[in-house]
Chains A and B, each alone.
Chain A
């Protein structure tokens, strides 16, 4: 029996176990929405801007491990998805984005709401399709989901003309896909794995650099086994956060521009760097020529093109992290590496990057710290981009995989609110906190309405410093405090929340921080807190742009131990 293209899409969704889609209707996708209306099993979440649909699908994918799906109409609907698709591409998030297109006879005629969206998404997708026949849909959708989630995950975009949605075709969903040119090689070459093992066993001062690939490949257990067997300190990238419990004695924080001092010092001193599921982003490595100058590098990544792209590698292993670690771990000798670990612990004592200075006003670090305290660390933190992101990365300790959701590669301000929505939809039982800056929050503020409509109990913490904080910090440090276009007026966020039907609090007194977070947690529903923080607080340490990790700038002021922070590790030894 023949069914319409729109039905084929919905039936294919069911085959792929899609139960949630994020989208926004419009002319070209109208036939699809009319059909989707009949499918009770597929929950459609109406965002307020298509960018929000893409970010929500991205975050949904990150917390569930499923493929996130977003839908938009042709033209402006499709172009509004672009930032979200690029975000998913750079952070290797599995996503299928569906756009409507003008009917086939109108393609290329500059028709109303026509844009060459496959031309636009070509360099920001793993693959994309313009569907010219309804009978091609089953195969294309099967391929798209397969590509999105296998190998190095990423977004796949399908552009479907309006009249393909209405065209009738047989629905036979293929069992498997055939790609002559797409090979996923998960195993890793045995010879290379042996070489890596020999290098690791002989290492005196090894470090592990763990990235998002560990989370994607579900290899947190294998990583822990390797770490404990060989006693190798673990340092994560920004997106690697939560792939290894931060309460673990061998967890040494984050590498990079705003990483911990001791992590960066350890990488600088290491004789072997074992990079696992990470891609040597410039924000992580600092100046490449000064990166890990003493180290031989083992690089495990499923994407062959990442090997040797930025950093010279001594032992490349192309493969899925989980598979490779399973083969590697038995070849690793048990070891104590007592001297090296003691050295790192000393550095951590001498450069306690997680301490918070004494201050009468509210420090952003203090706010994040208190969210950790109230939630007991039992929360998924979804951040914006900039200072709020770095404070969230550093002053909350992540122990559960995929509990830190952030825009790493693209650095998309405005990611936080729609992503928190997507995370909450994916993890309804979990505490989901959206940590936003006052700048980024206003980029996608309209998704408050979606949160209310979907009854998503997202807790929102705005770190309100009245500036575009990270840019201001650079202006302070590198542009002689010329604050060009960074002072930021904002509306009364509590009143805004109220207008959306979300209760909120404005917190200006340090003593109110803790009770406000408690109140938010106790409230059954979304809740917003506007934390008015010290306006010119900087995030330290910082590796200045163009400097190597060894040239880290630490906080110039006196720091005071706050008890909890320094006891983080000690209590877990």
Chain B
């Protein structure tokens, strides 16, 4: 069976321990979370959780159903096969001597990223995009020496006027 990364989007009740319930379920059933992002949803009292999980279609469907059984979880959708946009954000602190600085700025421009902090020997870059874009930028910046990186989980939304979650 073909294994790929699926994108599951869930609405969950804003209750204490709800993330623990989700994490516990994934661990207990032996499913690996590739990435996770949590934030508010349109509805008050509900949070939106985006999880990347790798597995075959059948395995991920089992994840989805088990996840939906958690009482504080309202709905879980696998949107992998739908047209969608996904975004991640990364903050990258890269070593930058005076000589290298302009070269880095050029790369940052190409990637339409932003420089959000400048120090005498480093630059902090903020970049958003899909996972590939972030990884490509990372590879280019690696030559300069990366001091620190922080990266969010992936968030996703289906395109167009499709039914909202």
Contacts and interface: CB of A to CB of B under 8 A. Distances in A.
Interface of A: 118-119, 122-123, 126-127, 130, 147, 179-182, 303-305, 307-309
A308 B62 contact: yes
B73 interface: yes
Interface in B12-49: 12-13, 16-17, 20-21, 24-25, 28, 46
Given A304-B65, A308-B62, A123 B74 contact: no
B75 interface: yes
A123 B66 CA distance: 12
Contact of B74 (A118, A122, A180): A180
B72 A181 contact: yes
Contacts of B17: 118, 122, 130
Nearest to A151: B69
Interface of B: 11-13, 16-17, 20-21, 24-25, 28, 46, 58, 61-62, 65-66, 68-75
Contacts of B62: 305, 308-309
A305 B66 contact: yes
B74 A181 contact: yes
Contact of A180 (B13, B25, B61): B13
Given A127-B72, A180-B13, A304-B65, 4 more contacts: A127-B71, A180-B46, A181-B13, A181-B70
B71 A305 contact: no
17 contacts: A118-B17, A119-B20, A123-B28, A127-B72, A130-B16, A147-B71, A179-B71, A180-B74, A181-B13, A181-B71, A303-B69, A304-B68, A305-B69, A307-B65, A308-B58, A308-B62, A309-B62
A119 B17 CA distance: 9
A119 to B, nearest CB: 8
A182 B65 CA distance: 12
Contacts of A127: 71-72
A180 B61 CA distance: 21
Nearest to B63: A305
Contacts of A304: 65, 68-69
B65 A305 contact: yes
B38 to A, nearest CB: 16
Contacts of B75: 181
A309 B71 CA distance: 19
Nearest to A132: B16
A119 B11 CA distance: 22
Among A119, A179, A305, A309: residue with most chain B CB under 10 A: A305
B60 to A, nearest CB: 12
Contacts of B58: 308
B61 A308 contact: yes
A308 B58 CA distance: 8
B94 to A, nearest CB: 40
Contacts of B16: 130
Nearest to A123: B28
B24 A126 contact: no
Contacts of A122: 17, 20-21, 24
Contacts of A181: 11-13, 68, 70-75
Contacts of A147: 71
Contacts of A308: 58, 61-62
Most chain B CB inside 10 Å of its own CB: which residue of A119, A122, A130, A304: A122
Contacts of B68: 181, 304-305
Interchain residue pairs A-B with the least CB separation, the first 7: A181-B74, A305-B65, A127-B71, A180-B74, A305-B66, A123-B28, A181-B73
A147 B70 CA distance: 11
Contacts of B70: 181
A452 B73 CA distance: 45
Contacts of A307: 65
Nearest to B10: A181
B163 to A, nearest CB: 17
B115 to A, nearest CB: 42
Nearest to B46: A180
A119 B19 CA distance: 12
Contacts of A303: 69
Contact of A123 (B24, B46, B65): B24
B78 to A, nearest CB: 14
A303 B70 CA distance: 12
Nearest to A318: B65
A126 B20 CA distance: 14
